[in-house]
């Protein structure tokens, strides 16, 4: 594939629809019939205590769950009404369309900032001319809120950046392949408050263009960045379920379930 100008235009977010997802590691069931629609261009926050299956659910949304040898799942995930798990779908294509940013920033530390941004393009076999590459690097670093800070040192190693900058570089690396969806698993948990704010600003700017699903333990963050919220719970060793989901303001101000109310107010 060769990049053309039209492919450099911002992509539109896709709608993710998870239907009756159950998941296992060996015979340990960790999710039980979880259904959640994540609308195009919206930010959906997944909240809930540790161990209730949020990361597992996220990894099912871009087929990373199947990288664990003991893992299995039931149910289906649709991206714009097309099954992510259908036999004719290439896994690399799924992971290009549905990107992932992790808790710990993981740029290639010895690789230049410039090449880090383009690393995903190489993996997906996308060819681009030198000027197209320069354009992609500038555009994606700008979208990730990092361009002004690094424009004069694009050949420096990614590992030389601060933690917050590294995380924004990882966001840029994900964006360079023009995903429809960006999954973020506690992207600010390893960062200081200022870096956290910068990432939140980036999320706000990306919203509308890219569908975002973010796991966070920070309730203020969920309230600040998300349009929709889903509260996961795994009571007493039972598999994780979604107790309640809906618009973020309703989840925080007028939740239907007492357990949601307790959780968002820090009572467990
Ligand atoms: P959360 O992100 O909400 O903290 P996880 O999805 O990480 O929850 O974990 C859900 C459950 O699945 C936990 O009981 C956890 O121990 C188990 N689990 C997660 N990853 C693995 C794995 N690779 N192998 C076996 N069990 C796992
Ligand atoms: Mg997790």
Q: How confident is the model at residue 236 (pLDDT cuts 50, 70, 90)?
A: confident
Average pLDDT on 23-50 reads: 97
Instruction: State which ligand 1 atom lies nearest to the alpha carbon of 50.
Output: 4
Q: How confident is the model at residue 1 (pLDDT cuts 50, 70, 90)?
A: very low
Task: Give the number of whichever ligand sits closest to the CA of residue 184.
Answer: 2
What is the per-residue pLDDT for 160? 96
Is 124's pLDDT higher than 80? no
Q: Are 33 and 76 in contact (CB under 8 A)?
A: no
CA 124 to chain centre: 18
How many Cβ atoms are within 10 Å of 200's Cβ, its own excluded? 18
Positive or negative, the CA dihedral 235, 253, 192, 230 is positive
CA of 56 to the centre of ligand 1 (A): 6
Tens of pLDDT, residue by residue over 69-83, are: 999 999 999 999 999
CA of 53 to the centre of ligand 2 (A): 7
Instruction: Tell me which residues have their CB within 5 A of the ion that is ligand 2.
Output: 55
Selected residue with higher pLDDT from 120 and 8: 120
What is the per-residue pLDDT for 122? 77
In sequence order, the 6+-apart residues with CB closer than 8 A to the CB of 77 are 16, 17, 18, 19, 21, 60, 61, 83, 84, 85
Task: Give the number of whichever ligand sits closest to the CA of residue 231.
Answer: 1
Is 110's pLDDT higher than 90? yes
pTM score, whole prediction: 0.94
**ipTM entry:** 0.99
User: Which residues, judged by CB distance below 6 Å to any ligand atom, belong to the binding site of ligand 1?
Assistant: 25, 30, 50-56, 68
- How open is the CA angle 50-62-59, to the nearest 5 degrees? 15
Mutate to test the pocket of ligand 1, among 18, 22, 55 (most ligand atoms within 8 A of CB): 55
What is the per-residue pLDDT for 3? 53
CA of 265 to the centre of ligand 2 (A): 20
What is the per-residue pLDDT for 128? 82
Q: Could you tell me what percent of the chain has a pLDDT over 90? A: 87
Task: Give the number of whichever ligand sits closest to the CA of residue 51.
Answer: 1
Q: How confident is the model at residue 34 (pLDDT cuts 50, 70, 90)?
A: very high
> Whose C-alpha lies nearest to ligand 1, atom 5?
53
Is 167's pLDDT higher than 90? yes
CA of 153 to the centre of ligand 2 (A): 34
CA of 51 to the centre of ligand 1 (A): 6
> Dmax of the chain from CA atoms?
57
Tens of pLDDT, residue by residue over 194-204, are: 999 999 999 99
Average pLDDT on 30-46 reads: 97
């Amino acid at each position: 594939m060769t990049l053309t100008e039209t492919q450099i235009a911002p992509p539109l977010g896709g709608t993710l629809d998870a239907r009756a997802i159950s998941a296992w590691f060996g015979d340990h069931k960790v999710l039980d019939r979880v259904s959640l629609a994540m609308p195009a261009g919206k930010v959906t926050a997944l909240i809930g205590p540790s161990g209730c299956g949020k990361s597992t659910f996220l990894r099912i949304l871009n087929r990373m769950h199947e990288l664990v040898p003991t893992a299995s799942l039931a149910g289906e995930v649709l991206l714009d009404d097309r099954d992510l798990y259908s036999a004719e779908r290439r896994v690399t294509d799924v992971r290009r369309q549905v990107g992932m940013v992790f808790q710990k920033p993981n740029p290639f530390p010895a690789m230049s900032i410039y090449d880090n941004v383009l690393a995903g393009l190489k993996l997906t076999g996308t060819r681009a001319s030198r000027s197209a590459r320069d354009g992609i690097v500038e555009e994606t670093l700008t979208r990730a809120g990092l361009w002004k800070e690094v424009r004069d040192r694009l050949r420096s190693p990614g590992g030389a950046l601060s933690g917050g900058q590294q995380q924004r570089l990882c966001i840029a690396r994900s964006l360079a392949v023009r995903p429809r969806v960006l999954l973020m698993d506690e992207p600010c948990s390893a960062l200081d408050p200022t870096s956290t704010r910068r990432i939140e600003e980036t999320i706000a700017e990306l919203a509308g263009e890219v569908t975002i699903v973010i796991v966070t333990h920070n309730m203020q963050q969920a309230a600040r960045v998300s349009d929709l919220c889903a509260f996961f719970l795994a009571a007493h060793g039972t598999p994780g379920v979604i107790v309640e989901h809906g618009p973020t303001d309703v989840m925080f101000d007028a939740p239907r379930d007492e357990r949601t109310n307790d959780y968002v107010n820090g009572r467990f």
